[in-house]
Amino acid sequence: MNSKKYVLVANMGSSSIKLNLFEFDNNLFVSKAKVQADRVMQLNSNLKISFFNDQLFKFEKENLGIEEVLKITIEKLDEKFDFKSNPILYCAHRYVHGGKIFKMPLIVDKASIIELEKINNLAPLHNPSNLNGIIVMMNLLPKITQIAVFDTAIFRRVEEDSIYSLPIEISKRLGIEKYGFHGSSHKYVFEESTKFMDIPKEKLSGITCHLGSGCSITGWKNGTPIKNSMEYSPTSGLMMSTRTGDIDPIAVLDLAEEYGIEKTRHILTKESGLQGISGVKGGDLRDIINNMENGDTNSTLAFNMYILRIKEKIGEFIPVIGGLDFIAFTAGVGENSSLVREKVCEGFKWLGADINKNLNKTKKSGIISMEDSKIKILVIPTDEELMIAKESYNLLFSN
């Protein structure tokens, strides 16, 4: 009997952990188990493993740490899938910020860990957790290749759009430049969008909108991602659940003068955005829309600001990408909020983006624009883990 082969993909957050176990067969990746751990290192920590046949494993414990989460996960997966007989080919990790050094997926070893530690400051909410997850996995699975796939790696900005108008020697010395994030999600959504288009991929231009708790849009020109609304950090660009998005730098200096650097960092990343305007803890857009419908003025203001920022950024990108063949929505808000999609697309009806309100409310995937719409509007459920698995496979096995 032929053995099966598996690929494990990990997404390590500061307080949550996601893993996806794929079976690899005939160049196809098929998800066999998904892992979700929430409130890691907090009260009421919990771990849930969902198997493809609807079996479910749950575990709860106070202050459940990353090592314990991953150890239990590997044990339970091994019990189910027998990794001794059916090996894991590699373990791939989402890594938020690769900085100037890492422009493609990386096979991680002890030497590269030292280099990765040097860029922790570029995404202090994400990179340390990403790196810690790799180190723990290296200890739990010492014979398995660990690969880091960087959110920032796919973007190909032109030179004049890659730096800020600071003194150039300062920018180069400190690595202050425009990067871009949510790369795996944007790439997956673009690849899926091409299946609905009559234009060859290499001639296709459009916008992918990743709207979740973190939000970004990417502008694609002739099949290449040349702009992303997140720039130096995942705090920039659009208004998000708790992150400000773009803000005048002098306002940041005034905040730092009043509150200090660390408190200002916390305000910009954890207390602002939809939460800061609406007062809704966590800035959950579902709660904000519900409050708005019940007449709450702050929630209405937050929603209107959120929509305006998205429309502004798409409008900014269109002349740079030289046209607009499609707009695709993905992630938690983009996939599930028909109201957000409708309000955003209203701003581009004059350009030929004509949303079908019935399809927009009922369709979960595919085209939601009118049949004669010049610009196709799409909903594409994202699959970052699948794209990370594919990128890692290409690194290891493609000639």
Residue 390: partners with Cβ closer than 8 Å, 6 or more residues away: 29
The pLDDT, as a whole number, for residue 58 is 77
The pLDDT, as a whole number, for residue 372 is 95
Distance CA 21, CA 77 (A): 9
Q: Does domain 5-153 have CATH number 1.20.1250.20?
A: no
The pLDDT, as a whole number, for residue 48 is 81
Check: CB of residue 203 under 8 Å from CB of residue 195.
no
pLDDT in tens, the chain (399 residues): 578 999 999 998 767 788 999 999 888 999 999 988 877 666 667 778 888 766 777 777 777 788 888 998 999 999 999 999 999 999 999 999 998 889 899 999 989 999 999 988 888 878 998 999 999 999 999 999 999 999 998 888 888 889 999 999 999 888 899 999 999 999 999 999 999 998 999 999 999 999 998 999 999 999 999 999 999 988 999 999 999 999 999 999 999 999 999 999 999 999 999 999 999 998 999 999 999 999 999 999 999 999 999 999 999 999 999 999 999 999 999 999 999 999 999 999 999 999 999 999 999 999 999 999 999 999 999 999 999 999 999 999 876
C-alpha closest to that of 336 among 298, 369, 381: 381
Q: CATH 3.30.420.40 spans which residues of the chain?
A: 5-153, 183-384
End-to-end CA distance of the chain: 29
| CA distances for 387 relative to 29, 145, 181, 261, angstroms | 10, 18, 14, 36
Distance CA 318, CA 15 (A): 36
Place of tokens 């955003």: 344
Residue 109: partners with Cβ closer than 8 Å, 6 or more residues away: none
Check: CB of residue 384 under 8 Å from CB of residue 11.
yes
Q: Which of 38, 54, 78, 151 is catalytic?
A: 151
Distance CA 212, CA 239 (A): 11
| CA distances for 48 relative to 6, 16, 60, 237, angstroms | 20, 11, 9, 33
The pLDDT, as a whole number, for residue 53 is 63
Distance CA 204, CA 398 (A): 25
Check: CB of residue 93 under 8 Å from CB of residue 148.
yes
Check: CB of residue 334 under 8 Å from CB of residue 209.
yes
Distance CA 357, CA 354 (A): 9
Give me the residues paired with residue 31 across strands. 22
Second-level CATH architecture of 183-384? 2-Layer Sandwich (3.30)
Give me the residues paired with residue 47 across strands. 37, 59
- Using CB atoms within 10 A of its CB, is residue 387 exposed (0-12), middle (13-18) or buried (19+)? buried
What's the 3-state SS for the chain? CCCCEEEEEEEECCCCEEEEEEEEECCEEEEEEEEEEECCCCCCEEEEEEECCCCEEEEEECCCCHHHHHHHHHHHHHHHHCCCCCCEEEEEEEECCCCCCCCCCEECCHHHHHHHHCCHHHCCCCHHHHHHHHHHHHHHCCCCEEEEEECCCCCCCCHHHCECCCCHHHHHHHCCECCCCCHHHHHHHHHHHHHHCCCCHHHCCEEEEEECCCEEEEEEECCEEEEECCCCCCCCCCCCCCCCCCCCHHHHHHHHHHHCHHHHHHHHHHCCHHHHHHCCHHHCHHHHHHHHHCCCHHHHHHHHHHHHHHHHHHHHHHHHHCCCCEEEEEHHHHHHCHHHHHHHHHCCHHHCCCECHHHHHHCCCEECECCCCCCEEEECCCCHHHHHHHHHHHHHHCC
| Annotation marks residue 325 as catalytic | no
The pTM of the whole model exceeds 0.85: yes
Look up residue 259 and give its two tokens. 């509150």
Check: CB of residue 132 under 8 Å from CB of residue 124.
no
The pLDDT, as a whole number, for residue 325 is 97
